[in-house]
Amino acid sequence: MNIGQAANATGVTAKMIRYYESIGLIKESSRTDSGYRTYGSKDLHTLRFVKRARTLGFSIEQIRDLLSLWQDPSRASKDVKAVAKAHVADLDRRIAELTEMRDTLTHLVKNCAGDHRPDCPILIGLENEESTVSAHCAH
- Number of structural domains (the chain) is 2
pLDDT per residue as tens digits for the range 64-90 = 999 999 999 999 999 999 999 999 999
Identify whether 101 is part of a domain: yes
119: left (phi over 0), alpha (psi -120 to 50) or beta: beta
Provide the 8-state DSSP code for 31: E
Percent of the chain past pLDDT 70, that is, above it, reads 92
Q: Which domain holds residue 38?
A: 1-57
Asked if the model's pLDDT at residue 137 lies above 60, the reply is no
In single-letter form, the type of residue at position 22 comes to: S
pLDDT band at 24 (very low <50, low <70, confident <90, very high): very high
Mean pLDDT computed over 86-97: 98
Residue 68 lies in a domain: no
Task: Record the pTM.
Answer: 0.78
Within a domain: 83: yes
In a domain, 65, yes or no: no
Query: How confident is the model at residue 129, as a pLDDT?
Result: 67
The answer as to whether 16 is a domain residue is yes
CA–CA distance from 108 to each of 2, 84, 94, 120, 137 (Å)? 53, 36, 21, 9, 12
Q: What is the pLDDT of residue 134?
A: 47
Task: Indicate if the pLDDT at residue 17 is higher than 50.
Answer: yes
- Mean pLDDT, residues 32-46 taken together: 94
Please report whether residue 1 resides in a domain: yes
Taking residues 4-29, report their average pLDDT.
Answer: 96
What is the pLDDT, as a whole number, of residue 77? 97
